[in-house]
Chains A and B, each alone.
Chain A
Amino acid sequence: MKFFPGCMIHNRFPGIERSLFFVFEKLGVEIFPLKGSSCCPAPSISKSVSVELWKEIGIRNVRLAKNETIMTACNGCYTSLHEISQIFNEGDIRHVVEYLHSEIGIERIKKSVEKRLPVRLAVHYGCHFFRPSKHKGFESPERPKMLDELVNAIGAESIDYKYKFMCCGGGGGVRAGATEVSHDLLERKMDAIAEKDVDAIVVMCPLCLNQFDVGQSELNELRGKDYRIPAVHYVQLLAVAMGMDVSLTGIERHSVIEQNFIEKLVRGES
């Protein structure tokens, strides 16, 4: 199996990669970096400019794996490579969250946890994991439960909130092309999350993570909105629950850091 990092994990949130390798080693699944792989390229924004470009760069990435399964941890990479592999009828593309949920299973995850994490989390799936559902064929694209179940499996609690299934505002090139719109969307989402007493936001995509983390700092600077709710990728939490040192997850290198949250992760359930 090959790990496809994409730009956002390789070049922004490498702690996700470190965590993923730790988790797979613990689970006894062999996985290696897909060397020489490039930008996936990002689905909506690339297709907005040239579908041919999107397909040709994408299939190059798919073929690099020489028919081994490609594991992604990003909704954008997953969508691009998955759609392209269907178009060319080549390759096997997975997203780590659906892989953990369906291949490893909740029971085994529970058993592999060394330290339960007593944190309250706002779960955010991101748009492109389930939608458009005609390509993906998972459970309900309107109300998925996969990530909530995985969160509960490590001793954390998923707290429902308004706009849970709405976009974070990070996708479609809007963050780069119309930054204010992207901030407006994030602010709505953050206001809804802030109504609940949560320790952090948990996502399954580094682009969403960037929006909740870096975007949140921008909201603070530009609009005086000081939410202080850290955001993390699920595999970072899973790695900690399976015994990895918190410092290796890179969580302390995110933009929004709360000591209280870090301490809960370090301590675990007492």
Chain B
Amino acid sequence: MADNANELNKCIQCGTCSASCFSGRVTALNTRKILMEHIAKKRSLGEFDTVWFCVTCYACQERCPRGIPLTDILISARNELVKEKGLPGRLKNAFKSLQENSALVPAKNEHIALRKELGLELYHSQFVDSARNEVGEIVRKYVGGIIK
């Protein structure tokens, strides 16, 4: 976080980041405000749930004239928020699936049937016991506590 604050000190308040944000046009996500208020001033994100409205399109980061890695900083801010408040509900389910199936998006019967119909093998780790367990272990190690 200290590095992030240093990066953000380079900001010249030009507003390009917020102006580039497609998500900001339809939501209360205000890229510049989140970054300046809550990261540079080291305030907790607290109830600042709009950070989850960022689609991580990298438009702001790409265009920032000061070369500040804005999207990367927002993503690391989420990391802090997850530590504080846990994962939002459906994301928790996604990571549970990553632990159980080694897939954020697991196959259901209809998808298995379609693969067969197209003459394709089932070789994603979801279908290979040893591989699935290996990945499940990695998930447990890092986020087992958060998704319980």
Q: Please give the residue numbers on chain A whose beta carbons come within 8 Å of chain B beta carbons, in ascending order.
A: 5, 7-8, 10-12, 14-15, 17-18, 33-39, 41-45, 47-53, 56-57, 60, 127-128, 131-133, 141-142, 163, 166-167, 169-174, 176-179, 181-182, 184-185, 188, 248, 250, 253
Contact = CB atoms under 8 A, between A and B. Distances in A.
A117 B106 CA distance: 34
Given A38-B135, A131-B62, A167 B106 contact: no
A18 B23 contact: no
Contact of B78 (A39, A48, A171, A176): A48
Given A56-B138, A185-B26, A131 B59 contact: yes
A14 B118 contact: yes
B118 A15 contact: yes
29 contacts: A11-B105, A14-B114, A17-B118, A35-B128, A36-B125, A37-B124, A38-B125, A38-B132, A38-B135, A39-B102, A39-B105, A41-B104, A47-B75, A48-B79, A49-B87, A49-B143, A53-B142, A56-B138, A57-B135, A131-B57, A132-B62, A166-B57, A167-B59, A172-B54, A176-B91, A177-B88, A177-B91, A178-B27, A185-B26
A218 to B, nearest CB: 14
Chain B contact residues, majority secondary structure: helix
Interface string B38-59: 0000000000000011111111
Contacts of B59: 127, 131, 167
Contacts of A56: 138, 141-142
Contacts of B131: 36-38
Contact of A50 (B27, B107, B120, B143): B143
A7 B105 CA distance: 6
B62 to A, nearest CB: 5
Contact of B143 (A14, A34, A53, A181): A53
B22 A166 contact: yes
Interface string B103-126: 111110001001100111101111
Given A39-B135, A181-B23, A7 B104 contact: yes
B58 A181 contact: no
Given A33-B123, A132-B61, A185-B55, A44 B135 contact: no
A264 B78 CA distance: 46
Nearest to B120: A14
Nearest to A9: B124
B69 A132 contact: yes
Given A41-B104, A47-B75, A167 B61 contact: no
A52 to B, nearest CB: 5
Interface in B74-108: 75-76, 78-79, 82, 87-88, 90-91, 94-95, 98, 102-107
A167 B23 contact: yes
B146 interface: yes
A14 B87 CA distance: 30
A53 B103 contact: no
A167 B59 CA distance: 9
A131 B58 contact: yes
A174 B27 CA distance: 12
Given A10-B126, A141-B62, A142-B62, 9 more contacts: A7-B104, A11-B111, A39-B135, A41-B104, A51-B79, A127-B55, A127-B59, A181-B26, A181-B53
B17 interface: no
Contact of B103 (A33, A38, A163): A38
Contacts of B135: 38-39, 57, 60
B35 interface: no
A31 to B, nearest CB: 13
Report which residue of B57, B61, B87 has the largest number of chain A beta carbons within 10 angstroms of its beta carbon: B57
B27 A184 contact: yes
A157 to B, nearest CB: 26
